[in-house]
Amino acid sequence: MEISPDSWVLWDWRDWQLTATVAFTWLVMTILVTVSWLITSRLSEGETVSRWQVMLEVIVTTIRDQIKEVGAEDPNRYLPFIGTLFLFIATANLLTVVPGYQPPTGSLSTTAALAICVLIAVPLFSIVRRGVGGYLRTYLRPSPFMLPFNLISELSRTLALAVRLYGNVMSGTVIVGILISVAPFFFPVLMQLLGLLTGLIQAYIFAVLAMVYIASASRAQPGRDKDPDTETELADTEGD
């Protein structure tokens, strides 16, 4: 039994292999780009607004509100990155309703790539916001003794992000595969429905956690330790 779409090779030419992971990632990217390009090429501000534009506006404003609630003062700065993460993972997971589709997020390569994007984005956003010195000082934040633990947590939370998304999506696929051989027709459909819910929640959680990491590293607090009362409630969950 296969536990990842990596082992499904669609096309083989000399040393180059096109695995299902890459192909379905391209499919998701094409869908996202085409749909958003089609909608945004016909934006209007007049009396009549197309229903697709309304859908896009709802998605963008919802993501922006969620970013603001997590604790970023300036949501527009983070909207492209966080929104892309959410939309990509959500589309990749929700397309499992299409027969023959294997979610690319069910491969550790894809989720590791996404988690590494977050790992790189955290210092980038923080340096743009607070400068190199301000960013490096976050590693010494409670006290300089915490430096090794802060470094470890930086790596371990990246691993956690990758394995969490991979494990959730892969477990859905594997359980459906096992149930098809045990109790066909009915139970796999129920598990697929549950998988849709899990996929959407995982996309939300991945985006929220990325935002929490970025916000906790780039919160403006020049030079001194901040008041504990101003912490948002989500900052407590950062130390996974």
Partner 1 sequence: MDPNLWIAMISILTAGLTIAIGSIGPALAEGRAAAQALQAIAQQPDASATITRTLFVSLAMIESTAIYCFVVAMILIFANPFTDLATQATGG
Point out which residues bind partner 1 (CB under 8 A): 1, 3, 69, 160, 163-164, 166-168, 170-171, 174, 201-202, 204-205, 208-209, 212, 233-234, 237, 240
CB of 66 to partner 1, least distance (A): 8
**102 in Cβ contact with 8 (< 8 Å):** yes
Closer CB to partner 1, 1 or 98, in the complex = 1
CB of 67 to partner 1, least distance (A): 12
**Element housing 226 (H / E):** none
Closer CB to partner 1, 92 or 130, in the complex = 92
Q: Can you tell me which residue has the tokens 């960013």?
A: 135
Report CA 166 to chain centroid distance, whole Å: 11
Closer CB to partner 1, 123 or 167, in the complex = 167
Closer CB to partner 1, 39 or 163, in the complex = 163
- Give the chain's count of helices (H) and strands (E): 6, 2
Closer CB to partner 1, 3 or 59, in the complex = 3
Closer CB to partner 1, 123 or 177, in the complex = 177
The number of beta carbons lying within 10 Å of the beta carbon of residue 47 is 5
CB of 8 to partner 1, least distance (A): 14
CB of 135 to partner 1, least distance (A): 24
Helix (H, G, I), strand (E, B) or coil at 215: helix
CB of 71 to partner 1, least distance (A): 12
CB of 204 to partner 1, least distance (A): 7
Closer CB to partner 1, 135 or 165, in the complex = 165
**65 in Cβ contact with 112 (< 8 Å):** no
Pairing of strands 9-13, 16-19: antiparallel
Number of Cα atoms under 13 Å in the Cβ half of residue 30 = 7
Cα(240)–Cα(237) distance, integer angstroms: 7
Q: Residue 123: which of 111, 110, 112, 139 has the closest Cα? A: 139
CB of 188 to partner 1, least distance (A): 18
Cα maximum dimension of the chain: 62
| Token digits of residue 202 | 């995982």
